Amino acid sequence: MRVIAGDFKGRRLTPVPGSSTRPTTDKVKESIFNIIGPYFDGGQVLDLFAGTGALGIEALSRGMDRAVFIEQDAKALQVVRRNVDACKLESRADIYRNDARRAISVLAKRKEQFDLVFMDPPYHFHIIPDLAASLDRHDLLRDTAVIVAEHSKDAVLPDQLESLRRWKLVTYGDTSVSFYRKGTFTNEDSGLSGQF
C-alpha cells in the first residue's frame, strides 16, 4: 500500500494489523482519484472510517490543504497517526477517535465544511445513506462537495440523498463505489460524464 501520486508519491503506508479493517486497494484508489481529480487546488477532506488514512493522505498528497480523519478502532487510529507522521503531514491533519455519527455532530458544532468526503464503512453496516444525508443536513458540505462511498457491489444505494445526487457508480470485483455531489451539474463539470 502506497501513496500513488502527488507530493508523497511512492511513500509506503503501514497497514492495520489483523482483519478488522478492509483497506482500499491501490487499483481502486487510483481509479477513484482519476474520477474525482486527479489533483486539487486546496480544500478540505473528511476521511470517515479512515482505516489506514490512505484516502485522506492521498488527497493531501494531490493538493488538498487539510484532512480530518475519523476512526473508531484504536489500532487503526494508531496506524493513521503513524502514516500521517511518515508523510510529515501532522500540521495539515486532525485525527479523532470517534463514531462516525457523533463525529458529524461535533464537526457541525465547529462549523466545519468539506470539499471531499470519503466513506468506507464495514460493508455490513449499511449506513452510507444515513451518513451522507446527515452530512448534508448538518451543512458540512460545500456547494461543490463530492462524497465518495465505498460499499459492497450487492448494496443498493439511492440515486438521490437530500440535495445529493449520485452521478457515477463503478464496480471493481466485489466492491462498488458511489460518487455523490451536491446540487446540479453538467457534463462539462470537472470533465465528468454525469452518468451512473
pLDDT, position 181: 94
Lowest mean pLDDT among 21-25, 66-70, 187-191: 187-191
Nearest to 25 by CA among 52, 59, 62, 63: 52
What are the backbone dihedrals phi and psi of residue 28, each rounded to the nearest 5 degrees, phi first?
Answer: -65, -40
Report the candidate in 119, 130, 120, 133 with the shortest Cα–Cα distance to residue 164: 133
Strand order in 141-152's β-sheet? 93-97, 66-71, 44-48, 114-119, 141-152, 175-182, 164-172, 160-161
pLDDT at residue number 37: 87
pLDDT tens for 121-171 read 988 888 999 999 999 999 999 999 999 999 999 999 999 998 999 999 999
DSSP states along 67-110:
EEEEE--HHHHHHHHHHHHHTT-GGGEEEEE--HHHHHHHHHHT
Give the single-character DSSP code of 25.
P
Cβ proximity of 4 and 37 under 8 Å: no
Q: Is the pLDDT of residue 173 over 50?
A: yes
Q: For the segment 42-90, what is each residue's pLDDT rounded down to a tens digit?
A: 999 999 999 999 999 999 999 999 999 999 999 999 999 999 999 999 9
Mean pLDDT for the stretch of residues 161-186: 87
Query: What number is the average pLDDT over the span 98-115?
Result: 97
What pLDDT sits at residue 19?
Answer: 63
pTM of the model: 0.91
Which DSSP category does 65 fall into?
Answer: S
Query: Which domains are assigned to the chain?
Result: 26-189 (3.40.50.150)
Residues β-bridged to residue 118: 47, 148
pLDDT for residue 196: 25
Local confidence band at 25 (pLDDT 50, 70, 90 cut-offs): confident
- Which cell numbers in the block locate residue 196? 451512473
What is the pLDDT, as a whole number, of residue 20?
A: 59
What tens digit of pLDDT does each residue of 81-98 get?
999 999 999 999 999 999
